[in-house]
Amino acid sequence: MSVTRRRFIEVSAAASALAALRGTAEGSASLAADGGESWVKGVCRYCGTGCGVYMGVRDGSVFAVKGDPDNHNAGFLCMKNFLLPQIMSAPDRLKHPLVRRNGELRRATWDEAMELVAKRFGEAIERRGPDAVGFYGSGQALTEETYVANKLFKAGIGTNNVEGNPRLCMASAVGGYVTSYGKDEPMGSYEDIDHADVFLLVGSNTAECHPILFQRIVRRKETHPETKVIVLDPRRTPTARIADLHIGFEPGTDLAILNAMAQVIVAEGMNDPSFVDEHVSFGQGKAADKSWADYEAFLADYTPQAAAEIAGCSAYDIVTAARWFGGRGKASMSMWTMGLNQRTKGVWVNNLVHNLHLITGKIGTPGSTPLSLTGQPNACGGVRDGGGLSHLLPYGRVIANQTHRAQMEKLWGVPAGTIQPKPGLATVDLFRALEAGDLECLYVMCTNPGQSLPSVGRYRKAMESQGSFVVVTEAYHPTRTTELADVVLPAALWAEKEGVYGCTERRYQLLEQAVEPLGEARPDFAILAELGRRLGYGELVPYESTAQVWEEILTVCAGTPYDFTGMSWEALKQSHGLLWPLPEPGHPGTKRRYVRGEDPLVPSDHPKRMKFYGRADDRAVVWLRPQQPPAEVPDAEYPYYLTTGRVIEHWNTGTMTRSCKELRAAVEAMAEIHPGDAHEIGVEAGDRVKIASRRGEETFRVKVTESSRPGLIFVHMHDADRIGNRITIDAVDPGSKQPEYKICAVRMEKA
């Protein structure tokens, strides 16, 4: 390390920070290099915001990252990016395959490992049929990687047991969009933040989980101080620091609050009858066969007073929130994430947010949009859009639809009838099948179910049982999943591979390869193609590069509501992100979907302002969704609510973080409890409590904080040594199949 290089980095860092005081971080981009380094355009590898980065490369290693000033993040990054230069060479990077022999994971060659994987999968398929195997992928994998897995398993092996961890974080958002508008994915974009007058942040700790978007809200409020921020959250998180109104409530009662906001909007005449008349239907259950009068009658039960009584909040606050959101001439934007999605009523509560936009007509205009926030960098692009779940096929197609299956069979060049007509197992059912022995072999890619599944204890036993065969492709070892695996394959990580990420706002971006994979690591698409060849499906997945896969994907999306055929590899390389629909080369992309004059899939002569073309009648649906309790509520035996969440994303770097001794205590999962509860059970900050549910227990140290409501305990989910998911419930939403991580009943006692 020369002084010149050290100085170069210090000057670059300081200059970038000072330049960023002007509002955009452009300083470092113009700095002269000190020699030998290059900058490669990429995408942040963490949350679903999809921030553009440049990766600094020197001597074959990533030595720096800086924000891309030309991307939506305007050069800013969040705290997680402190980790990026060092994650590539972390001590726990896996550099060679491992195979379990005599109970121990031991080094093996690629050939030995792949031979074993192909043998076990092949035997299981031959003996018990294709549904004896399954795939469990990730919203962190590249689009091309999920695509290859989806094609191999559904069109090759012949099973629809293809799942991914987005089932755990955003399936209910998908259910909400699909039921309300007919097709998945938000219609708005981040740019709407710059036009909104009112923000409704519900079930989202935006400040900590989506900091770049939070910063954009802060900037909007800075330049337009009259902007209102409403935060609906049982806890008072750092997001509430900019709130003009924070409504805390009993977990699971937000359906009542959202219905009450709608009741106030209608009662005070803030609804938009002409928009409703032209664009909206009403429904209950699964049928859109209700009327405005039915909706009004339904809302009569949700007066602010009634809702406040259910939710344990102030009726006045509900009225205030409704008046701000529904105010004439004001642009209103809602954002939400796991607080709504990880619920057994997740789809319903998503519907209720959409209802507020639909009855007021605050949708499809600058600053007025419902925008669900995403937790992983490619959950949208790879898994949701790419159809990497057990009931989906690529780009808006579903397994249950014969026409869609026939389309994909033709596009994939397989005989008619190859794709099974019955959806495969959703995540919790997939792991229950492994537990029951009905699923014999599971291929896990780029995710950590040994820590992240709800009620994880039972599924950990299933993964390590003698009868199951689990192969995991991972960049790191050990994780709480690789420690259970029969085979662990070293996967290339982030800057070591190239492919497309698709983030929250339908923005697709190319992550370019900056460095070679470490050790013997290989990109996941290549590992899957190799498995395909060994199983006899080489012609189905003949790919040599992700660019080749992308070329095929462009033919698969053509003519669908997701059409992005104009996004060639070269166009992605030249751009700083492109928003679909983008049906032809040179199209600028679509900031507001379903809107005449903006969305290329809406005819320019369409007689109405919007066309919700996901539904046959072009109308969105306002659903009548009543307040209903979560799957488990406190009782005499388990008198507290437990909720889980992210404080900050530790991802696979938890090992590195914990290796820093002086900070170990700071990253430890603590039980955050209200002072009144602490007094009641006789504990103080730093004491230990045992928290137990009907499924398992864990011991935590106590943090006493006013941010928790009385009766509510919060534990973050990133501590591999204290796994909160031993306690959480694996009950799922009946529509989305997403588990209710956010709410369960527990007891707590001093340990």
Annotated active-site positions, please? 80, 169-170, 338, 375-376
Give every CB contact of residue 147 below 8 A, 6+ residues apart in sequence: 382, 386, 388, 394, 549, 552, 553
Q: Does 224 bind another protein (CB under 8 A)?
A: no
Please say which residue, 76 or 714, places its beta carbon nearer to another protein: 76
Locus of tokens 């031979």: 115
Structural tokens at position 91: 């001590």
> What residues from 412 to 471 belong to the interface with another protein (CB under 8 A)?
none
CB of 40 to another protein, least distance (A): 14
177/346 Cα distance (integer angstroms): 12
Strand partners, 397: 393
Q: Does 685 bind another protein (CB under 8 A)?
A: no
Give every CB contact of residue 121 below 8 A, 6+ residues apart in sequence: 133, 157, 441, 443, 469, 531, 535
3-state SS assignment for residue 162: strand
Q: How many residues line the site for another protein (CB under 8 A)? A: 64
CB of 714 to another protein, least distance (A): 13
Strand partners, 335: 201, 371
CB of 14 to another protein, least distance (A): 5
Count, residues in the chain: 751
- Per CB under 8 A, the segment of 17-25, 479-487, 620-628, 724-732 that binds another protein is 17-25
- Per CB under 8 A, the segment of 101-109, 279-287, 422-430, 662-670 that binds another protein is 662-670
689/701 Cα distance (integer angstroms): 6
3-state SS assignment for residue 375: coil
Chain Cα centroid distance, residue 724: 19
- Per CB under 8 A, the segment of 10-18, 323-331, 335-343, 502-510 that binds another protein is 10-18
CB of 317 to another protein, least distance (A): 21
With contact defined as beta carbons under 8 Å apart, do 491 and 521 qualify?
Answer: yes
Residue from 663, 676, 721, 749 in contact with another protein (CB under 8 A): 663
Phi, psi dihedral angles at 239 (to 5 degrees)? -60, -35
Q: In what order do the strands lie in the sheet with 162-164?
A: 104-107, 98-101, 487-490, 469-474, 441-445, 133-137, 162-164
Phi, psi dihedral angles at 482 (to 5 degrees)? -60, -30
Work out the widest C-alpha separation in the chain, in whole angstroms: 75
397/465 Cα distance (integer angstroms): 36
Q: Does 5 bind another protein (CB under 8 A)?
A: yes
Residue from 41, 45, 66, 587 in contact with another protein (CB under 8 A): 66
- Per CB under 8 A, the segment of 80-88, 314-322, 522-530, 627-635 that binds another protein is 80-88
395/559 Cα distance (integer angstroms): 10
Residue from 136, 147, 177, 214 in contact with another protein (CB under 8 A): 214
Q: Which string of x and - marks every residue 227-246 that binds another protein (by CB under 8 A)?
A: -----------x--xx----
Residue from 328, 616, 666, 682 in contact with another protein (CB under 8 A): 666
Q: Does 28 bind another protein (CB under 8 A)?
A: yes
Please say which residue, 113 or 212, places its beta carbon nearer to another protein: 212
Phi, psi dihedral angles at 497 (to 5 degrees)? -145, 170
Angle at CA 629, nearest 5°, toward 624 and 633?
175
Please say which residue, 87 or 691, places its beta carbon nearer to another protein: 87
Residue from 4, 17, 119, 519 in contact with another protein (CB under 8 A): 17
Please say which residue, 58 or 128, places its beta carbon nearer to another protein: 58
Residue from 223, 660, 676, 685 in contact with another protein (CB under 8 A): 660
Residue 165, Cβ density class (10 Å: 0-12 exposed, 13-18 middle, ≥19 buried): buried
- Per CB under 8 A, the segment of 84-92, 132-140, 165-173, 607-615 that binds another protein is 84-92
Q: Does 82 bind another protein (CB under 8 A)?
A: yes
Binding site for another protein (CB under 8 A): 1, 5-6, 9-10, 12-22, 25, 27-28, 56, 58-59, 61-67, 75-87, 207-208, 211-212, 214-215, 218, 222, 225, 238, 241-242, 647-648, 653, 656-657, 659-660, 663, 666-667
